[in-house]
Every structure is written in structure tokens, then in C-alpha cells.
Amino acid sequence: MRSVNNFLMKANDKSLTGIEGNIVDPDFLQLFSFPLTQGGEMKQLVDPNSIVITEKLAKKLFGDENALNKTIQIDATDNFTVTGVLKDLPSNTDFHFEYLLPWDYLKKRGDGSINESWLSNNTPTYLLLKPTTNVAAFDAKIKDVTRRYSGRNDVWTHFTFPLHKWHLYDEFKNGKSVGGRIDMVRMFGLIGVFILLIACINFMNLSTARSEKRAKEVGIRKAAGAGKGLLVGQFMMEALMTAGSAGLLALLIVQLTLPSFNTLINTQLVIPYANVSYWLWTMAFLLFTSLLAGSYPAFYLSSFNPIGIFKKQFKQTQAALSPRKVLVVTQFTFAILLIISTMVVRNQIQHAQDRAVGYSKNNLIHVNFVGDIGKNYSLLKQELLYSGSASSVTKTMNPLTESGSKTWGLRWAGEAPKDTNTALTLFSADADFVKTAGLQLVEGRDIDINKYPTDSFSVLLNETAVKLMGFKNPIGQLLFSKSKKTTWKVVGVVKDYLTGSPYEAIPPTVIEGPGAWFNTMHIKLNPAHSTADNLAKAEQIFKKYNANYPFDYQFIDQEYANQFENEQRLKTLSGLFAILAIFISCLGLFGLASFVAEQRTKEIGIRKVLGASVPNLWGLLSKEFITLVVISFFIASPVAYYFANGWLQQYSYRTEVSWWIFVVTAILAVSIALLTVSYQAIRAAMVNPIKSLKTE
């Protein structure tokens, strides 16, 4: 299967570009169960000039007409007959296409990306095993198939992986799944559990803290004959009603905020109101939450002795270690964990954004080869330079922000045995690549077939490749490709520049000359003119030489910025969760501070009569809570360091868990706690002592 999105599609009087499609084997629709709304059940893609489209694309091209057997023209040269219409793909699939074309069409076009040798690994392959197949035995049979048929023992081995796990378990190491998106799901699931625990702890703390208010009720009920089980049931029912009310409110909030949340995470989540199992799980979750939050207060309140209640002997002393203090420490430990994690994520993103890319992103655009761009490249380059809209132009295999193809097929003099298993990145570029990209030449020169006709078989190396190959004098060294039976000569060395992910190490890169495969045109806009003027002139030139296609370009700096999307999303989500955790924790702290101030009303009045100032009383009431927050910080810090450092290990280019993160977090946590309890502390300290001493 090969994904494409650069075809021009025409039907009747409508033209479309940028539509995502797949080029597949004829058996694709037999292997996968994409439902057809029009067309037969078999052989939709057997004919090389057949096409299968989705309902969405059929609507775009043919409106309300029946699309079956209609003709679609691709790239103004090839006509295809619609042999099937698929039901639109659901939003939760990893396949994203609006049409399917036969694999033979790619061969017919003579696409340079096709390489059906055993050493090619750029085309996903799917297979359907029989239900009785022993997967382990099958994997053992195919493990060395490439080595066997390529005649080389230094290339990769194979194994199968279940497609239903592919979305969440998409990272592999040494032939084994090591996680992937599932790590993100687990992490945010764990954060959700933390926040729920914080809320439950608040309920426990505030319920038990208000025990004195309900003590007489418990005493009267017990004196009237109510057993402990009845009282536990009453308090548990109250917790269930609270959880149920919170659940309804949460459902309303989710419904209102879901569109914004979907935009944030770049997906389409929905609330499955019609799904019975969803409601059963929701009810079970609410019941579990009420049991978690209400069990401790229920058993605590129902355990009061009625005689002790009326004699006011039920009050607990201020123990150094009480369940309430443990719960406060626990919830702030979770909150501080989230604060530290958010700061580590932010620090890692900033570290990568500050990384030197090794090329000039400013005023640099790229245009994919569509239509006649490849055929008219020389004319386009000439006129772009002549018009003054561009200061330099080159063509390459991929955009600069994407890595080239991996190869294990290059050899050189003096290579070590370990080098045979090292993947090299193969990138192709034409004349003026160094100038257009703004690369820095360390040694030698750029490739230029106009000045040097033999440069069809010349290459540039980056510094990492030179180091890998052990060249002390790289200029003039030869590289050999056994698969292509080709010899290349090194004519230049460029300073390492970043392709692919900004979080990964720069790979050893070999840049081929004009004899390679090209798919992208890079244009350095002329800085002497405005960007708008440059683009307007360029658009006219492209219309002249590629009239059937719109002038579709991308700025390199914008595409580079897009590579931070996942981590930026992680930073935003973790930040939101941290704020939510702190907010819920502070609500509980505020309630406890209010209760403590109320309990110590007489003590405060006596202290004021004896000369205590408002700052003294504020410090007295705040000290206990700040101590608990400090304890939480010392518990959370080593745990946060362990997990944050483990998360950073997935990146080759990473920062460290800096000490200042813990200092800032400590100051932030203590400040937030102080602000939370200060209102109640100062309010209690300013009460008239005469009124305080009259209080029963």
C-alpha cells in the first residue's frame, strides 16, 4: 500500500487536488472489511483503470448523481472508471483515504519511488492469517526471508504484528513492541485517577472535619435504636447522591467542552449516548467513586459512642499523625507531581525548539512535484531566478523537514564489521542544494552537474557520516552500492543539519546527486522583495508551466514548527490537569482552614487578649498546612524525578530534569497553599476577641 495526495482529479467540470488516497493491491478490499454502498463485492481493482471512491469524494465530484461507472481523470492524462463506492471511513480508523487505485497504476507512471527489491522497506504490507495459524511458527518462517532472497546477512529480519494493536503499540525495538501511544493513554489515565483521588480525599476530609456538626444527629439516632449498619447505609447513600449529582454536572460540562477538547487533541471523541455498555460502566464508576469517597466518613461517623457524644468526649486530640493529615499530604503529593511533570515537558519542548537546525528556514518554501513540475523543472528554475522572486532553487527527494530513505546497502574502504548494521540516511539533491538550504560546507564543494558533468555519481556527506565511516580526508573517497552496482565519489562535507524529528539524533546522511529520485522543489524567496510579491510572481510562473494545478506551497519554518505539535499538546494537557489538581486540592484546603479557624475561635480570642497580633495568629493557623505541603513536596520530588527522567529517555536529543524545576515547584506549591489558607486565617485573627470568647 502507498499513500498519495498529489494527484489532480477531474470529473465533469470539477477539479480537486490534495485528496488523500491509497494505491493498493487488488486484494485490498478482500483483506479489509470496508463496506461498499455501490458496486460488486469482488474485483473492484483488478482492472488497472479502475478506481474505488468514498461517499464523501463521490459527493464532491458527482453531487447527488450515481457515481458507479462514472469516469474520473487523473493528472489530465489517465481515465479511471468508478467500480465501487465505499461508505465513509469512521473517524477512529488509522486509514485516511478517499479513493483507492490499483498498484499497477504506480508502475505505469514509472514512479521512481517504486523499488520492489528485497531491500526496499518503504511500502506497508498487510496479510491475513488463517484462524488456525500458529503465529510464532509463522514468524519463525518469515524471519530471515529478506536475508535469504537478498543474499545478505546484514539486513533486517521480519515478524508479524496484530493490526488491532498497531494504533496504540506502534513503537518497536529489537523486533519487540515497546509501547507507543499506549504510554500516553496510560499516563493520562493515571493522571485522571490522581485527580479523582484528590477529589475523594477532599470529600473524606471535609466530611470527617465536620463530624462535630453531625455528632448529635448520630447520638440521637443511636439512642433511638439505629444500628451502625443503618447509619453507614445513610452516609453511603449521601455519598452516592453527591457522586450522582457530580456525574450529571460532569456530563454537562463534557458535552459543552468536548468540541474544544477535540480541537486540542486533534481527534473526534463523542459521548456514546445510545451505547448501553457505556451507561453501565458509567453507573459502575459512580458507584465505585461513592464507595471510595464515602466509606471512610461513613464508618468514622457511625462509630461515635452516644454517651460520649452528649458528654462531648468524642473529639480527637491533635495527633502528630492523623488520617486527615495523611490525606492532605497525599492529595498535594499528586498535585506537585503534576506540576513538576508539566515543567519537565515544557523544558523538553523548549530545549528542542532552541536546537540549531543547521539550515536556513527563513523565506524557504517547498513545492511537491505534481503534474508537469518535474518535466519543466529547468524552465521553472530559470524563470523564478530571472523574475527576481527567488534567489536560489533546487530539487530534492523530500522536504528538508523530512528524513530521507534508510539504506543498509552502502560500503566503503576500511569499514568496520559493526558498520554493516548501521542504517544510513539517503537523501537526493540537485545543484544549488547547499546554497538554497543555507547549509554550511565544511570541506569540498556542492554538487553541480552543470559545472561538473560527472556529478551524477557524486555525493555529499554530513559530519556524522564522515565520523561513522572514519574518513580523515573524506574528499575523493568512494562509496559502493552492491544493490545498484554503483560507485559514488565524495565531493563535499556539510555541517550536520536536522531532518526529521527535532528530538532525535542527526543520522549519518549521504546526499546523492542528480541521478537520484526527486519529488520536491525548494525555493529560496528573494529577501530583497516582500514575500507577497515573490509568491505572486512565482504563482504566475507555475501557472505557465503547470497550468492544470494550483500553486500549492509550504513554508519550511511552519512545517518545522508542526513537528512540535504532539509535545505541545502533551504540555497543554498536563498543564490543564495540573491546574485542575491544584484547584481541587486548594478547595479542600480552604474548607479545612475554615473548619480549623472555627474550632479554634476561643483560643484565638484568648491569644488576642494576651497580646497576640494578627500576623502572629496568621502564622499560627497557617503553619500546620504549610508543613503538610512541604512534606508533600519532599515525597513527590523523588517520584517525579524518576518518572520524568524515564519519560525523557525516549528522546535521543533531550534535556535533563533540572534542579531549578524543583525550586520553582516548591515556591509555587507553598505560595498557593499560603494564598488558600490566608483568607480564613486572617479573617479568624481579625474577629473581635469579646465575640470569640462568648462563642460556645
For the ranges 132-146, 360-374, 471-485, 629-643, which has the lowest average pLDDT? 471-485
Residues 207 and 339 occupy one common structural domain? yes
Residue 199 sits in the same domain as residue 309: yes
pLDDT over 80 (residue 96): yes
Instruction: Indicate whether 47 pLDDT > 80.
Output: yes
369 and 344 within one domain: no
Give me the pLDDT at residue 567, please. Answer: 83
Range in 362-371, 518-527, 599-608 the model is least confident about: 599-608
pLDDT-based confidence at residue 105 (cuts at 50, 70, 90): confident
Going by pLDDT thresholds of 50, 70 and 90, the confidence category of residue 29 is: confident
463 pLDDT above the threshold of 50: yes
More confident site: 193 or 389: 389
Per residue, what are the HEC states of 311-330?
CCCCCCCCCCCCHHHHHHHH
Between 636 and 612, residue with greater pLDDT = 636
Q: Which residue has the cell 474577629?
A: 687
How far is it, in rounded angstroms, from Cα 334 to Cα 341?
A: 11
The verdict on 315 and 436 lying in the same domain is no
At 400, which amino acid appears? Answer: L
CA distance 385 to 391: 6
Contact 458, 452 (CB under 8 A): yes
Match 477535540 to its residue by C-alpha cell: 262
Average pLDDT over residues 629-635: 92
Question: Are 601 and 510 in the same domain?
Answer: no
Question: What is the grid cell recorded at 626?
Answer: 504549610
Exposure on the CB side of residue 531, measured as CA atoms within 13 A: 7
Specify the range with the lowest mean pLDDT, choosing from 66-75, 409-418, 575-584, 623-632. 409-418
Whether residues 672 and 620 fall in one domain? yes
CA distances from 571 to 304, 469, 565, 575, 582 (A): 47, 39, 10, 6, 16
Q: Which of 585, 595, 404, 578 lies closest to 507 in space, CA to CA?
A: 404
Give, as one character, the DSSP assignment of residue 32: S
Tell me the torsion sign for CA atoms 148, 149, 151, 154: negative
The one-letter amino acid at 204: M
Task: Please report whether residue 174 resides in a domain.
Answer: no
In a domain, 509, yes or no: yes
Residue 149 forms part of a structural domain: no
Same domain, 556 and 690: no
Provide the pLDDT for residue 46.
Answer: 81
pLDDT at 155: 72
Do 521 and 633 reside in the same domain of the chain?
A: no
341, 643 Cβ separation under 8 angstroms: yes
Supply the pLDDT for residue 696: 47
Residue 437 has pLDDT above 90, yes or no: yes
Residues in Cβ contact with 659 at an 8 Å cutoff, skipping those fewer than 6 apart: none
Residues 329 and 442 occupy one common structural domain: no
Is 224 or 641 the better-scoring residue by pLDDT? 641
Q: How far is CA 610 from CA 105, 544, 692, 695, in A?
A: 95, 94, 14, 18
Q: Indicate the average pLDDT of the chain.
A: 83
Q: Does 629 reside within a domain?
A: yes
Is residue 125 in some structural domain?
no
If asked whether residues 201 and 344 sit together in one domain, one would say: yes
Q: How far is CA 411 from the centre of its chain?
A: 37
Of 546, 561, 576, the residue at which a domain comes to its end is: 561
The pLDDT of residue 317: 46
- If asked whether residues 519 and 446 sit together in one domain, one would say yes
CA distance 113 to 518: 9
> What are the angstrom distances between the C-alpha of 631 and each of 326, 378, 588?
10, 70, 17
**Using DSSP, how many helices (H) and how many strands (E) does the chain show?**
21, 23
Within 649-658, residue ranges assigned H as helices are: none
Task: Give the chain's domain count.
Answer: 3
Name the domain boundary from 55, 88, 109: 109
Q: Tell me, yes or no, whether 592 lies in a domain.
A: yes
What's the pTM? 0.77
Of the candidates 188, 1, 8, the one whose C-alpha atom is nearest the C-alpha of residue 94 is: 1
Would you state the pLDDT for residue 667?
Answer: 92
Q: Can you tell me the distance from the alpha carbon of 471 to that of 479, in angstroms, rounded to the nearest whole number?
A: 12
Task: Give the mean model confidence (pLDDT) for residues 656-674.
Answer: 90
In a domain, 345, yes or no: yes
> Which of 574, 585, 677, 676 shows the shortest CA–CA distance to 632?
585
483, 409 Cβ separation under 8 angstroms:
yes
pLDDT digits (tens, 9 = 90+) for 314-352: 455 455 566 777 878 888 898 899 899 889 988 998 898
Domain that holds residue 62: 2-109
Q: Is residue 197 part of a domain?
A: yes
pLDDT at residue 406, as a whole number? 78
Where among 109, 142, 170 does a domain terminate? 109
Cell of 685: 485573627
Classify the phi-psi angles of 509: left when phi > 0, otherwise alpha if psi is within -120 to 50, otherwise beta.
beta
Q: Are residues 486 and 602 in the same domain?
A: no
